[in-house]
Amino acid sequence: MQKIDVKAAVEACFPQYKSDLAKLVAFDSKNAPAAQNAPFGEGVLKTLEAALGIAKGFGFDTTIDPDGYYGYAQVGEGEEMLGVLGHLDVVPADNAEDWDTSPFEMTEKDGMLYGRGVIDDKGPMLASLYALKILLDNGAKLNKRIRFIFCTDEESLWRGVKKYIEKEEHPTYGFTPDADFPLLYAEKGLVEYNLIANDETVIDFKGGTAYNAVADKASVPYCDEIAKTMDKLGYKFDKVDNRLVAKGKAAHAMVPEEGINAISHLAEALAKTGETGTMLRFLAEKANDHFGVNIFGDVSDDVSGKLKFNVGLVDFKPGVQTVGIDIRFPVTYEKEKVDKALEEAGKEYGIKVEQFDYLRSLYLDVNTPLVKTLMQAYQEVTGDMKSEPISTGGATFARSMDNIIAFGALMPGALCTEHQANECASIADMKKAMEVYTRAFELLAT
């Protein structure tokens, strides 16, 4: 293989990278009603087909699941397989009025790329694909197969990757470009629940877009008394179509303290104005902080930190009130303790607790060869010898299979905008990430 000027190669291919990323961003690939061969909606399927089309254009062999759950692109030969796992679905961007640009029209401005999916996870997955193309275009000979696994349901129930695991060969080892550099060695356990109450008389209360996002809006029928209470509490709201819409700030459920939960603010105001109901009392009295202290106590460990608690969804109707919550618990804490504490708290209010989703925690030894090699690639390219492997509350595909680790693409200190309006990626950082991935493939597979 000839010596590669990787930085120059990245610069040369980046215009085409942007063009291909714009194609992927243009599809609204949120979870949607199923269609033929599209279990999560036509937007997701079209994105999957487009990504595989890009890989096929690079000369990779491509396969799509006949039921539309996943696809993969592969190159190389050998018994060992290096897997690169990523996802093409996105969290909803239905609040287009909060965006400065169209969420599904990639926009370049002030050294940034804007659009839903540019950093989570369309942009990083495409960057890793381009990184391997740089090596191959410069004569690299692979000593194993490399398979890019494109999944379709990461932002919800991971049904795409579960179907892949059920039906296909598992990688020998690999990484997912769906987190932070330098890499993640510990991921908290994740469990999501539906809480259900059955009061016959309640206020019409709705809010949130996903379990794993801090709710930036929640609403009830407009009432002067509620508006005055919101003002008194210092909480922001608007009057829209005769509804009072509480305004918060979206954030990922792994860091709910970085957001402002509109559901929690409005629940507090409703309780103070005399609105009643078991679920409303639970929200106001128990589910009212980012760490779930009133339910679980002070739960933390030295490896992964505090338990995180997020009220992501609320839907009150006469006869049935539903709340969706997301909990990230420390890697050394037992999931059974989370279940028991929540059930006991719910029982006090007559609330039924139903598990919606669960992902095991992940904890890897930082001295394994895979971790050390990926750290080497990162350090050689960036010169950053200070950043250490990371413990996180995020849930990446790394925990879906053995010997997979989350590796980039967000650089240390970079603006974190996934799951938010105006999601963006730094052009300079994405170019650097592409260099890191190129070096990683060189070390792992040539």
Task: Look up residue 423 and give its two tokens.
Answer: 């999601």
Burial 7-18 (b: 16+ CB within 10 A, else e): eebbeebbeebb
154 has catalytic annotation: yes
Which of 20, 42, 65, 89 is catalytic? The answer is 89
Q: How far, in Å, CA of 135 to CA of 116, rounded?
A: 29
Question: What are the phi and psi torsion angles at 261 (to 5°)?
Answer: -85, 110
For residue 442, indicate whether it is catalytic.
no
Say if CB 37 and CB 67 are below 8 A apart. yes
Nearest Cα neighbor of 267 from 248, 249, 241, 251 is 248
CA geometry: angle 116, 120, 121, nearest 5 deg: 110
* Helix or strand holding residue 409 (H, E): strand 409-410
CA distance 279 to 197: 6
Could you say which of 28, 154, 178, 429 is catalytic? 154
Cis preceding-peptide flag for 210 (omega within 30 of 0): no
Count the neighbouring beta carbons within 10 Å of the beta carbon of residue 315.
Answer: 14
By annotation, the residues acting in catalysis are 89, 154
